[in-house]
Amino acid sequence: MVDIRIVPDKATLGARAAALGAQAIREAQSRFGHANIIVATGASQFELLQNLVAAEGIDWSKVTAFHLDEYAGLSEEHPASFRRYLRLRFMTPLGNAPAFVPVDGEGDPQAETTRLNGLIAGKRIDVCFAGIGENCHIAFNDPPADFDTEQPYIVVTLDEGCRRQQFGEGWFPTLDAVPERAISMSVRQILKSELIVLSVSDERKAQAARDALEGPVSNLHPASILQTHANTVLFIDPPAASLLKSA
Q: What is the pLDDT of residues 3-37, one digit of tens each?
A: 999 999 999 999 999 999 999 999 999 999 999 99
163 with 174: CB under 8 angstroms? no
pLDDT of residue 247: 63
71 with 105: CB under 8 angstroms? yes
- CB-facing half-sphere around the CA of 39: CA atoms within 13 A: 32
Domain count, the chain: 1
Cα distance between residue 94 and residue 96, in whole Å: 5
70 with 104: CB under 8 angstroms? yes
* pLDDT (tens digit per residue) in 90-113: 999 999 899 999 999 998 999 999
Assess if residue 227 is contained within a domain.
Answer: yes
Assess if residue 68 is contained within a domain.
Answer: yes
pLDDT of residue 193: 98
Q: How many CB atoms lie within 10 A of CB 179?
A: 17
51 phi-psi bin (left φ>0, alpha ψ -120 to 50, beta other): alpha
Assess if residue 241 is contained within a domain.
Answer: no
Helices (H), the chain: 10-32, 46-52, 82-86, 109-120, 160-168, 187-191, 206-214
Predicted confidence pLDDT, tens digits, the chain (247 residues): 899 999 999 999 999 999 999 999 999 999 999 999 999 998 889 999 999 999 999 999 999 999 999 999 999 999 999 999 999 999 999 998 999 999 999 989 999 999 999 999 999 999 999 999 999 999 999 999 999 999 999 999 999 999 999 999 899 999 999 999 999 999 999 999 999 999 999 999 999 999 999 999 999 999 999 999 999 999 999 999 999 997 6
| 3-40 b/e (C-beta count within 10 Å ≥ 16 → b) | ebeebeebeebbbbbbbbbbebbbebbeeeeebbbbbb
| Peptide bond just before 144 cis, omega within 30 deg | yes
The DSSP result for 193-215, as a single string, is -S-EEEEE-SGGGHHHHHHHHHS
Single-letter residue type at 71: Y
Q: Which residues contact 130 (CB under 8 A, 6 or more apart)?
A: 38, 40, 68, 138, 139, 190, 196, 197, 198, 199
Longest alpha-carbon distance in the chain: 48
CATH of the domain at 74: 3.40.50.1360
β-pair type (99-101, 181-185): unpaired
Domain that includes residue 133, residue range: 2-236
47 with 136: CB under 8 angstroms? no
Q: What is the pTM of this model?
A: 0.96
Assess if residue 244 is contained within a domain.
Answer: no
